[in-house]
A = this chain, B = another copy of it.
Amino acid sequence: MCRWLAYSGSPVLLEDLLYKPENSLVTQSRHARLGVEAINGDGFGVGWYATAAETPGVFLSTEPAWNNRNLRELSARIASGRVFAHVRASTGTAVQQTNCHPFRHGRWLWMHNGLIADFPLVRRELALRVDPSLYPEIEGSTDSEVLFYLALTFGLETDPPAAVARAVGCVEEAGENQGIVHPVQMTVATTDGETTWAFRYSSRGRSRSLFHSRDITTLQEQYPDNPTLHSLSAGTRLVVSEPLGDLHGAWREVPESSCVAISGGDEEIRVFEPLRSSRS
């Protein structure tokens, strides 16, 4: 329904992520290969950090990424070592900047591919679960933003995997209360500017695609003549909805129901399981 990428590593120009790869995210905005919908033309967004300590910048637009001249201009001139980018295919909610990903709260970014099933049926119950001090910050009308504020409510800033587990558990409970069979479908990425966490999960166990790049050192050995690979630091990593190119061995699928944490060159994959409130 959407496509996204999360980059961390050596500072690169945004255009190196968004335009230059063979199957770049901007290419995916017109012709996604793996999504249920090939077109992601209902807006886009980019979030980037100048330094990990600062509030990230966001550039959001309701226009298709493929024909946006400002995105091309900025991408050729903004470099960053931590980038979130997202192209949107609306599942019904309005096409407006406040519905574009990544969402931001303080130093945190959040983006989502998927949906909360029958969102109108659970929207109010979920909004009520959002911490009252956070509620007024909700600006848009998407399920994705509510999921972010639930995660913030449940402690995203202190223990991201646990907070997301509780947020997803909360959505599943609310959905089941309404008789919704498979309430959650998601790949999600979130970051505080230092670590990126990516989640792949769906209530029915058939989640949207998600891949992460392999250890760059291994690839550098495998492809000794590829200059692009050799210019990147050992800690460089990408998590993506679909591979940006066909380099053999470059991408590994993130398993169903798991969470990847990427920090510097370290990457840790753990099982992800929603936490119901009774267990929290």
User: Which residues does A use to contact B, with CB under 8 Å?
Assistant: 30, 38-39, 41-42, 50, 57-64, 66-67, 69-70, 73-74, 76-78, 90, 93-98, 119-121, 123-124, 127-128, 132, 135-136, 138-141
For A48, give the chain B residue with the smallest CB separation: B77
In contact, A57 and B30 (Cβ under 8 angstroms):
no
Q: Is the CB of B97 within 8 A of A98?
A: no
Q: Which 4 A-B pairs have the closest CB atoms?
A: A120-B136, A96-B96, A124-B135, A57-B77
* Closest chain B residue to A64, Cβ basis: B41
Nearest to A41 among chain B residues (CB) is B41
Flag if B67 contacts A90 (CB, 8 Å): yes
The complex is assembled from copies of this chain, and their number is: 4
A70 to B90, CA, bound (A): 17
- B57 near A73: Cβ-Cβ < 8 Å: yes
Is B124 touching A97 in the complex (CB atoms < 8 A)? Answer: no
* Assembly CA distance A93 to B67 (angstroms): 10
Closest to A59 in B: B70
* Residue of A76, A96, A97 most packed against chain B (CB within 10 A): A96
- The distance in angstroms between the C-alpha atoms of A229 and B73, with both chains bound, is 31
Task: Check if A59 sits within 8 Å of B73, measured CB to CB.
Answer: yes
| CB-CB under 8 A for A42 and B67, given A135-B123, A136-B121, A141-B98 | yes
Instruction: Determine the residue in chain B with the shortest Cβ distance to A49.
Output: B77
A59-B70, A96-B97, A139-B94 as given contacts; A39 in contact with B39, CB under 8 Å: yes
Cα–Cα, bound, A132→B59 (Å)? 34
Q: Are B74 and A74 in contact (CB under 8 A)?
A: yes
Measured CA separation A57–B73 after assembly (Å): 6
User: Measured between C-beta atoms, what is the minimum distance from A62 to chain B in Å?
Assistant: 7
CA distance A64 to B62 in the complex (A): 10
**Which listed residue (B63, B66, B138, B140) contacts A63, Cβ 8 A?**
B63
CA distance A50 to B124 in the complex (A): 34
- Kindly state the separation between the CA atoms of A139 and B95 in the bound complex, as whole angstroms: 11
User: Which residues of the partner chain B approach A42 to less than 8 Å between Cβ atoms?
Assistant: 64, 67
A47 to B165 alpha-carbon distance, docked (Å): 44
Q: Which residues of B contact A62 (CB under 8 A)?
A: 63
Least Cβ distance of A103 to chain B in Å?
Answer: 13
A69 — nearest CB in chain B belongs to which residue? Answer: B97
CB distance from A193 to the nearest CB of B (A): 14
B-chain residues with CB within 8 Å of residue A61 when the two chains form the complex: 70
In the complex, what's the smallest C-beta–C-beta distance from A247 to chain B, in angstroms?
A: 27
- Complex contacts, A127 vs chain B, CB 8 Å: 127, 135
Please, which residues of chain B bring their CB within 8 A of the CB of A69?
Answer: 60, 94, 97
Q: Which residues of B contact A132 (CB under 8 A)?
A: 124
